[in-house]
Structure 1
Amino acid sequence: MVAIFLTYVFFIPIIVSCSNEQQSISEENSSYNKIAKKYEGIAMKMANLQDKINNYAVSSFQNRSINGIELTQESIDEYAVLAGYEEGFITLSMVEEIMDKNEDLIEFGYMYVLEDLNLENFTKLKISEIIEGGWIADLQESPEYENLNGIEKEVLVLANTYAKEISMMPTSEQGRFWDGFTSGIVGAIVGGFVFSNPLGMVAGFFIGMFVNHLAKN
């Protein structure tokens, strides 16, 4: 299972275009639309990525036992290098932190985890609204949004863009896109603070979603 998890993590660079990989999240005055443009199509890209990883897992691991594989920095680096990352780009501590947050999420609920992440009250409120009710059409119009730091803006726009794309799908298809969404947002917050760039935040988002998937299976 850990081997499948690592494979999933290191297909992530295809999600964010190369032009955005090293972009910092320090541009606090970036407009909502400018940020959202980076994440266009994020929901469908996630679904396609998950299908790709599931197919890869079946073909690669169906004849091998994957129980008892230790998650180490060395094993993470092995997959990272194969995917074009430098060693140490995604750290063992980051992966373990997202796993720990997901355990808290399952046991105590998302508000407990959000409180523990030291976010602005506005960010916590809007993340909660997105989780409970879907995308927020006027998010960018609030003065409190403009006053957020770059990481919290980026997380909110990622979450809202994802939710908006789901809202435009047929109702019968929406369920699979919402599954693991809350864990993904928690992972994105962790990734945002660790990396301070969109690629790292998207990495955290998908690590969170997949950790949630593993926890249920």
Structure 2
Amino acid sequence: MLIADDQPLVRRGLSLILSPDPSFEVVGEAENGEQAVALAHRLHPDVVVMDIRMPVLDGVAATGQLARSLPGCRVLALSTFDMDEYVVAALRAGAYGFLPKDVSPEDLGAAIRTVHAGEAVVAPRLLTRLISTYVRAPRSTRPAAALADPGELTPREVEVWRLMATGLDNTEIADALEISLSTVKNYITSIFGKLDVRDRAQAVIAAYESGLVTARTDG
């Protein structure tokens, strides 16, 4: 594992938190995105814990470079701010997860294991607030979405996608549609492929950007 953060105290703190766990090995530390990319190419860590706001090269750009050149090196992005404007950009760039820096050591460790396994992890509170704020922005300020045509989805897949975007997990989707959990998983795999998204977080963002669902404006 590689830790990238421009603050020495944060790097050292993360290393001290994670090192006692025998399943983790911190192989290096970087103080900016450019150094993180260089070290990742040299050390080949399984996971990079990447701060988003760093000098020289920010975490989003560094994540994009690693996603293209070292796809086996998975990035877990961290931010001090819940509503960091780079969250969506980081996920698009290829980050497998995004967590606020006030996450507990236990949740951080669990997230690293999840990302290492090739699955996505985004703090629920962060994803919900991010989507709410993001979709209320004027459409002209949103980055252009390079999505596959949602028309390629079957009506059933569209319904599963809609329920996923409203926050239901797989079990809740299965209950709502009265289908099996394995069928839901098959639908979701197909949806990811047709939308050309890697994980649930990207699929939710795509649903809002496509207009399939909209943010609630009440309260």
TM-score w.r.t. length of structure 1: 0.27
The higher radius of gyration belongs to: 2
Structure holding more helix per residue:
1
Structure holding more strand per residue:
2
TM-score w.r.t. length of structure 2: 0.27
Query: Which fold has the larger relative contact order, with Cα–Cα distance below 8 Å and residues 6 or more apart in sequence?
Result: 1
